[in-house]
Amino acid sequence: MRIKSVFLSFSIFLFCALSFSFAQNSPFFIEGKYAQSAPVSGVNERQKADLLNNTLTEIEIALDSQNYDKVINLSQSLIKENFTDYRLYSYQAMAYEQLDDCNNAEYFATKAITLAPSAVDPYVTRANCYFKNKKIPLATRDIEKALFLNPKSERAQKAKKDIYADPVKSTKDTTDKTDNFPKWFTKYLIIIGLIFIVLLYLRYRNPEYVDGQGRRLKEYNIKEQYKFIRLIGEGGMGKVYEAYDNALKRKVAIKRIRPELLKNGTFREQFLSEARTVAMLRHPSIVEIYTVIETTTSLYLVFEYVDGQTLETRLDIDNYIPFKEIKEIFRSVCAGLSYAHSLDIVHCDLKPGNIMIADFGPAKVMDFGVAQKIAKDKKDKETFSVAGTPAYMSPEQQKGFTSKQTDIFSLGVCLYEALIGVVPWGVKGYNLNTQKIVKPSAINPRFPKELDDLLEKALAKDPNERIQTVEEFWKALESCELKNN
């Protein structure tokens, strides 16, 4: 027995040593390098465009001269200043590929593809990295996509030759090395590894529970990963906390859904489905959902944390926002909504409390908690349960119908409140029978007639008579200018 015990201990020690050795060759990548850069705030759009073009030229020269560190530093300097040109990510991915840092190269190539799905170079870069990491199916998929986009791309053709020529050779080399390794020792290590994994599972497994809908849920203590700092908001859906992610070392916002809402199994399933859909949104003007955590008793949404204040708070404090600043805020809001609508996602609860004015960077639309995915085969309209904030809901939304024009109506109410300080229905003189709003120019003569027309169309009772797209809304607002005294 003592000999067996010693033998078992030696086996476990040998397996751990080998595991540690293998781990040394598996870098854990969280984020790429970020270079210091001079701020570009305060410059106009033409200067930003010139800065972008000049920097891209420098980057291309640096690539040609194989100065890859300079490529990375120049790209990061603009990315940190909220430039979103896909070439900044694509060139950075190329540089990391040449430095044999495939983790970073894959990450930035994927970022570039997200921004420009029809660009060829990011697919080729990512395919090369997949090939180096022996992910042949993924490499093949990306290179075929690149050649589909541009069959004449020399870089893609060269990568295709490498990918289709080397897998057989790589497999042969691996087979030869395996043949030289004792098979009995390989089996022995596998058995020891399986025993070790089973022991770890039995030691650290979480108990499972079955809820009322027959689903198995694991017990999870969210405070093990997140440190809750303070309560920052509360609404009809739940409470929002500022928290700190101990694993990724960053601030987050966590929304805990009210437990009484989760008792309805249908609501829970619908909410989870919609949350997963909204989690796909990636845009500078939308607060990002990092993850959804479902436990036996609670449901949490983990969001990007943004330093700043909501439009609602700003109006409560100042009761007035300069027209120029209003246009800047709604430029970002319209950009975020336009992106969501392009994916057939409707916010359904747009209001000043869900528009975050960031201390640094663009304003952001947040809390897509009741957002809806519109089915394309239902003529861009679908019937859902009523959800939202009544003062900002369109007439059809109050009846349970939701469309992209629903957000246009809410956007108009938000703009009116930003201009006047109250929602249209709270202004003295509003006619409940005709539902005619008091025109902004009647309250402030400096507001132009074009602004009155914009709000009248955005707040039309019939969605077919309303402004149809966010782009049309922003184009009309952008052209409005205050009258001189």
Q: What is the pLDDT of residue 173?
A: 47
Q: How far is residue 379's CA from residue 39's CA, in Å, rounded to a whole number? A: 46
Domain boundary among 176, 196, 228: 176
In a domain, 484, yes or no: no
Q: Are residues 321 and 295 in the same domain?
A: no
pLDDT band for 464, please (50, 70, 90 cuts): very high
Calculate what percentage of the chain has a pLDDT beyond 90: 24
To which residue do tokens 């694991």 refer?
Answer: 218
Helix (H, G, I), strand (E, B) or coil at 365: strand
Average pLDDT over residues 9-19: 54
In a domain, 113, yes or no: yes
Domain boundary among 261, 277, 304: 304
Average pLDDT over residues 32-41: 41
Q: Are residues 364 and 468 in the same domain?
A: yes
Q: What is the pLDDT of residue 475?
A: 95
* Nearest by Cα to 348 from 382, 380, 310, 387: 387
**pLDDT per residue over 205-227, tens digit each?**
655 544 545 555 555 678 888 99
Report how far apart, in Å, the C-alpha atoms of 214 and of each of 206, 208, 211, 300 are.
18, 12, 5, 20
Q: Are residues 54 and 168 in the same domain?
A: yes
Average pLDDT over residues 101-113: 89
Q: How far is residue 115's CA from residue 434's CA, in Å, rounded to a whole number? A: 45
Two tokens at 387?
A: 């959800």
- pLDDT surpasses 50 at 25: no
Q: Give the residue numbers spanning the domain of 300.
A: 216-304
In a domain, 12, yes or no: no
Q: Are residues 323 and 290 in the same domain?
A: no
Q: Write down the mean pLDDT value for the chain.
A: 80
Q: What is the pLDDT of residue 15?
A: 55
Q: How far is residue 434's CA from residue 283's CA, in Å, rounded to a whole number? A: 39
Range name among 73-87, 120-134, 373-387 with the lowest pLDDT average? 373-387
Q: How many domains in the chain?
A: 3
Q: What is the pLDDT of residue 468?
A: 94
**pLDDT per residue over 256-282, tens digit each?**
888 887 777 777 776 777 677 777 888
Average pLDDT over residues 147-175: 72
Q: Are residues 332 and 470 in the same domain?
A: yes
- pLDDT surpasses 90 at 38: no
In a domain, 193, yes or no: no
pLDDT band for 153, please (50, 70, 90 cuts): confident
384 or 114, which is more confident: 114
Q: Are residues 424 and 287 in the same domain?
A: no
Average pLDDT over residues 471-480: 94
Q: What is the pLDDT of residue 295?
A: 77
Report how far apart, in Å, the C-alpha atoms of 245 and of each of 61, 218, 227, 233, 291 are.
40, 20, 7, 19, 12
Q: Are residues 390 and 260 in the same domain?
A: no
Average pLDDT over residues 319-335: 92
* Nearest by Cα to 396 from 444, 326, 430, 346: 346
**What is the domain-level CATH number for residue 113?**
1.25.40.10
Q: Are residues 408 and 357 in the same domain?
A: yes
Q: Are residues 289 and 424 in the same domain?
A: no
Q: What is the pLDDT of residue 24?
A: 42
Q: What is the pLDDT of residue 30?
A: 34
Q: What is the pLDDT of residue 293?
A: 86
| pTM as predicted | 0.53
In a domain, 192, yes or no: no
190 or 5, which is more confident: 190
In a domain, 26, yes or no: no
User: In whole angstroms, what separates CA 354 from the centre of its chain?
Assistant: 16
pLDDT band for 32, please (50, 70, 90 cuts): very low
Q: What is the pLDDT of residue 16?
A: 53
Q: Are residues 430 and 390 in the same domain?
A: yes
Q: What is the pLDDT of residue 233?
A: 82
Q: Is 256 within 8 Å of 302 (Cβ atoms)?
A: no
Q: What is the pLDDT of residue 1?
A: 52
Helix (H, G, I), strand (E, B) or coil at 231: strand
Q: Are residues 328 and 274 in the same domain?
A: no
**pLDDT per residue over 372-431, tens digit each?**
766 554 444 444 455 678 888 888 888 888 889 999 999 999 999 999 988 888 877 666
**What is the domain-level CATH number for residue 274?**
3.30.200.20
Q: Is 130 within 8 Å of 106 (Cβ atoms)?
A: yes
**pLDDT per residue over 226-258, tens digit each?**
999 999 888 777 889 999 999 999 999 998 888
Average pLDDT over residues 336-361: 90
Q: Are residues 402 and 372 in the same domain?
A: yes
In a domain, 194, yes or no: no
Q: What is the pLDDT of residue 338?
A: 94
For the question of residue 349 being annotated catalytic, the response is yes
In a domain, 3, yes or no: no
**What is the domain-level CATH number for residue 386?**
1.10.510.10
Q: What is the pLDDT of residue 23?
A: 42
Q: What is the pLDDT of residue 380?
A: 44
Domain boundary among 121, 148, 176: 176
Catalytic option among 101, 142, 349, 407: 349
Calculate what percentage of the chain has a pLDDT beyond 70: 77
